Structure 1
Amino acid sequence: MRNPLLDSPVSWAGWAFATLVGLSIGVPLSTGPIRRVDGVIVCSGLPRWVFRRGGTCVGSVYLTRDNDGDRVLRHERVHVSQWRRYGMLMPFLYAVAGRDPQRNRFEIEAGLEDGGYR
Structure 2
Amino acid sequence: MTGDGEDAVALADFLSATQGLHADIAVPTADARAVIEGYHELVDEGVLADPPAAYLREWLQHVQAQGGDPVALTQQEGVDDRTFDLLEELEVMRDPDGRAYFLITAEHGEDARRIAELTELLAGGEPSSNAWRRDANSWTFDTWFGDGDIDLVLDDGAALAATPHGIFMAVGEDRLMPSTTDLFAYEGGTMWGEIFMVNDESSDPAARLRDMVENDTKDPPDSIHPLWRVLRHEEVHAQQWARYGYSGFTARYLWHNPLDPCGHPMEEEAGFEDGGYFQCVD
Indicate whether the TM-score tops 0.5. yes
Cα distance in 1 for partners of 2:171, 2:256 equals 27
Equivalent residues of 2:237, 2:270 under 8 A apart = yes
Partner of 1:96: 255
Picking from 9, 13, 22, the partner of 2:149 is 22
Q: Which 10-residue stretch deviates more, 78-87 or 21-30?
A: 21-30
The two structures have a TM-score, normalised by structure 2, of 0.34
Would the aligned equivalents of 1:34 and 1:44 in 2 still touch at CA under 8 Å? no
1:29 to partner: Cα distance:
3.5
Offset of residue 63 of structure 1: 0.7
- Would you say 1:116 and 2:276 are equivalent positions? yes
Deviations 1:74-106 (A, max 9, x none): 100100111111111101110002121001111
CA distance in 2, matches of 1:30, 1:112: 31
1:85, 1:60 → 2: CA distance? 13
Change (3 A) 1:71 1:96: same
Structure 1 residue 52 displacement after superposition: 1.4
Corresponding residue SS for 1:102: helix
Check if 1:58 corresponds to 2:185: no
Query: In structure 2, do the counterparts of structure 1 residues 92 and 29 end up closer, same or farther at CA, with 3 Å as the change threshold?
Result: same
SS of the residue 1:114 aligns to? helix
Offset, 1:37: 2.9
Mapping of 1:70-109 within 5 angstroms? 70-88=228-246, 89-99=248-258, 100-109=260-269
Secondary structure at the residue paired with 2:272? Answer: coil
CA–CA distance in structure 2, aligned partners of residues 84 and 63 of structure 1:
17
Distance 2:173 2:266 in 1: 24
TM-superposed CA distance for 1:62, in Å, is 0.8
Gaps of 5+ in 1: 1-8
Q: Identity over the aligned pairs, expressed in percent?
A: 31
Report the CA distance between 1:60 and its aligned residue.
0.8
Which runs of 5 or more structure 2 residues have no equivalent in the other structure?
1-131, 142-147, 175-180, 201-211, 213-217, 219-225
Amino acid at match of 2:271: G
Higher relative contact order, structure no. (Cα contacts within 8 Å, ≥ 6 residues apart) = 1
The residue type paired with residue 35 of structure 1 is: A
Q: 1:101 to 1:40 in 2, by over 3 A?
A: same
> Computing the radius of gyration over CA atoms, which structure comes out larger, 1 or 2?
2
Indicate if the aligned counterparts of 1:34 and 1:42 stay in contact, CA closer than 8 A: yes
Aligned length: 106
CA-atom RMSD, angstroms? Answer: 2.4
Normalization by structure 1: what TM-score?
Answer: 0.74
**Residue 128 of structure 2 aligns with which residue?**
none
